[in-house]
Chains A and B, each alone.
Chain A
Amino acid sequence: MFDVPLNRLVPEYIKRFEPYIPSKPDPELMKMYKVGHLWRLNNNENPLGPPERSAKIIEQFPPIKTSIYPSGDSYYLRVKLAEKFGIDPDQIIFGNGANEAIAFVIKAFCQEGDNIVTADKTFAVYEWVAEFSGFEARLVPLKDFGFDAEGMLSRIDERTKILFVCNPNNPTGTYWDEPKLRRFLDTVAGRQIVVVDEAYCEFVEAPDYPDGMRLLKEYPNLVTFRTFSKMYGLAGLRIGYLAGSRDVVDVIRRTCVVYSVNTVAQDAALAAIGDDEHVSRTRSHVRAEKDYLLRELGGLGLETQAGEGCYVMIRLPFSDTLAYRQLMSKGVMVRTMTGFRFPNWIRVSIGVHEAMEAFVGGLTGIVRQREMAG
């Protein structure tokens, strides 16, 4: 047996990184926290699961198909989506989840010295991918929990390549309506790439919410992100996509990884497209459970922030990371908001009613206990 000379082999900049440790699988967490059941309310997953047709595809997937490589560029999916949105299939690129699409875009347009502009309190991956790739992420504070268009525009300089807007925003649920998004795009006037992340668009019921796909025709610098992980309940299969003008997408395609979307994911996503009944069932579930949750939280006197999307933010009078541990010990998993720069806030995803009751019960117990302890 010999010692590996890590001191010599590992580059200095890698020594400085802490490894990212994703959360353990549920059975391990349940053992660790000594609970018999775990309600997962941390990842904004669809509690109703995938659409029925997709579920059937997954259930009946022939094992022999796993020995054959998938379509390298998700061909049939692109064709079907293009038909749905009235665009060309070559305007779409699929990735192993929308996170991969974020990396494709940044890699395609940024080089040393460039920067991206986004909000300080939004989905972290835009900032992470930029920073890890050595590009500056210019962060603009939210205004009334929403993206600040003027603030973002004021941070643009000649090295700004991409503007990321999360619409609706994760975690605050705020959104830009169509006039606001148009004004922003008109002001940018094609000088930078504007990415509008619409991961939660299918949950939005507000009539003035803009459809990024429709705007592609008018704004060739617009790139939209969508995913099958949220509304379509395929998070475990990792499948998302981006769409933009042909010229822009042609550039992005040069950086993207082919064959990164597996066959089951492609087939299940294909079956999900156009299932409006699933969307409407999910929306009405989210609406009802969100109402229930906000009512209960109001009773506890806690500040909340809820907009569009399948999640609600709650401000606690104590540390969110402590709340996470306490709720885990009651079998409920939520998302702490420190990492989103909202210290002492948690975000709870809308789950099945039993899960929402477990969360409300658990949180009530914790809050009351703290009140009693003074």
Chain B
Amino acid sequence: MPGVTLEARELSKWFGSRTAVDSVSFTAYEGEVIGLLGPNGAGKTTTIRMLSTVLPPTGGDFTVAGVPSSQPAGIRARIGVLPESAGYPMFQTGLEYLTYHGRLFGLSRDEARQTAVRLLGQVGLADRAQSRIATYSRGMRQRLGIARALVNNPSVVFLDEPTLGLDPAGQREILTLVRMIAEARGTTVVLSTHTLPEVEQVCSSVLILNEGKVVVSGSVAEVTSTEAASRQSGRLRVPPEEVPRAAEVLRRLPGVSVEVSKDVLTVTSADGMNSMLSAVLDAGIVLLSFEVDGARLSDAFLAMTRGGTS
């Protein structure tokens, strides 16, 4: 059983009268990648900022690698963070930037330089080490930011929207890095993202936040097997003259909702698609096409955040 690296208990944050995070509790283990999901304003960034000691929590506490939240400097020494839309000193080179941050974590000049060279190699920036950050693409800057988050060999890494604004190739590179961090180093990664397929690709567990509260948490399989996620939806196309009859047949089935648009019927059912297809075919209606929505984590996400802006 891997050890606990991160434990949050009843973590809350208010900005004036507005509640940004409301009693968030969860536990993370070595080598685990936790996906932090939620629509804009759900409290993901605030949660990460509290756990990385940049914002003091209004209530609750947490431990990182056994260090309690009352020792922020001790926690900062054991975590790595890629903040959301992090800025970079454009005139520094990648090597200077990482060496400087290594020094801030107490490494000697030589150690910091060696670490910087090694990390630049690991994130695929070895050939651009002596280039100014101003000349880096967005994807390269994100990889540099991840390298910076690893400069102190942390127990927990927080990545806040690391793939935001990247092209598919850039996204793939970042996700490969995330997997490498968790698997090769045994580091816990907390990944905040909007992109659900990312979570399904790399995360071992998921925490869905909505309006500052945890609405569901667990492994990806557990979350997708929840009642809300099991509601399947699909689209049926029938000849135009058969649309009213098909709609009537489907509406007679229990737990089925139907929306009609021209010759397409969009149906949602808690019992899967089989009973609906049987009913339509039994009524002698010709089925021109049939499509099932497959992204089940997104179904859970949308259901639990009431169609939040993901």
A binds B: no
Residues of A participating in the B interface, judged by any CB pair closer than 8 Å: none
